[in-house]
């Protein structure tokens, strides 16, 4: 049923699996001997985070964080509006943020600023998808771990939504234009 709304598959389940394997290897290597706090941003990253952490043979803990999204051009302050904050104190801890997609970079740059103010020992960023063409001028963000770079197209599936739908697609695809029109 959902498949009828998809015009093109960007990444198949197999490609995503291979990608998550590769990222997990890198994370495991870098965090060997550490006890990281993995911060999953809601809601888009929950599928990616669930797959990634099951490949991490590390004594990690998981936290969830939800940030309000701003409309374009409405970000005036240096703070993000955190709707659901993490429960754990991250001071002196190794923190790894898991995000679904890096677009303008607004949300993440503000979130990183906010979390850095809490003095973690380290703060790294793991992003499944990056749309560098969409980055806001002046926002410098380089994910420490990156799945795929994609062009400026709106994608759904594997946690990513359009109007809260399509998160449960097992692959990443592009919606047919008439889905947006209806």
Residues in contact with Mg ion by CB under 5 A are 44
159 is a contact residue toward ligand IMP (CB under 6 A)? no
51 is annotated as an active-site residue? no
- Binding residues among 37-56 for ligand IMP as defined by CB under 6 A: 44
The option from ligand IMP, Mg ion, none interacting with 5 (CB < 5 to 8 A, set by class) reads none
- Binding residues among 135-154 for ligand IMP as defined by CB under 6 A: 154
CB-based closest residue to Mg ion: 44
Q: Compare residues 25 and 133 and give the one whose CB is closer to ligand IMP.
A: 133
The option from ligand IMP, Mg ion, none interacting with 106 (CB < 5 to 8 A, set by class) reads ligand IMP
Encode the chain in three state secondary structure. CHHHHEEEEEECHHHHHHHHHHHHHHHHHHCCCCCCEEEEEECCCHHHHHHHHCCCCCCCEEEEEEECCCCCCCCCCCCCCEEECCCCCCCCCEEEEEEEEECCCHHHHHHHHHHHCCCCCEEEEEEEEECHHHCCCCCCCCCCEEEEECCCCCEEECCECECCECCCCCCEEEECHHHHHC
Q: Using CB under 6 A, list all residues that contact ligand IMP.
A: 44, 100-108, 154-156, 160-161
């Amino acid at each position: 049923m959902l498949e009828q709304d998809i015009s093109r598959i960007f990444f198949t389940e197999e490609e995503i699996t291979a990608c998550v394997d590769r990222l997990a290897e890198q994370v495991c290597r870098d965090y060997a001997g550490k006890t990281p706090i993995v911060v999953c941003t809601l809601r888009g990253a929950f599928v990616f985070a669930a797959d990634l952490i099951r490949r991490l043979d590390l004594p990690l803990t998981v936290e969830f964080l939800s940030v309000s999204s701003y409309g374009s051009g409405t970000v005036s302050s240096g703070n993000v509006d955190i709707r659901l904050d993490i429960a754990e104190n991250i001071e002196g801890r190794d923190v790894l943020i898991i995000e679904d997609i890096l677009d303008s970079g607004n949300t993440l740059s503000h979130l990183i600023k906010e979390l850095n103010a809490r003095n973690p020992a380290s703060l790294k960023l793991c992003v499944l998808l990056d749309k560098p063409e969409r980055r806001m001028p002046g926002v410098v963000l380089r994910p420490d771990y990156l799945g795929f770079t994609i062009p400026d197209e709106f994608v759904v599936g594997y946690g990513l939504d359009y109007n809260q739908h399509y998160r449960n697609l097992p692959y990443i695809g592009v919606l047919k234009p008439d889905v947006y029109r209806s």
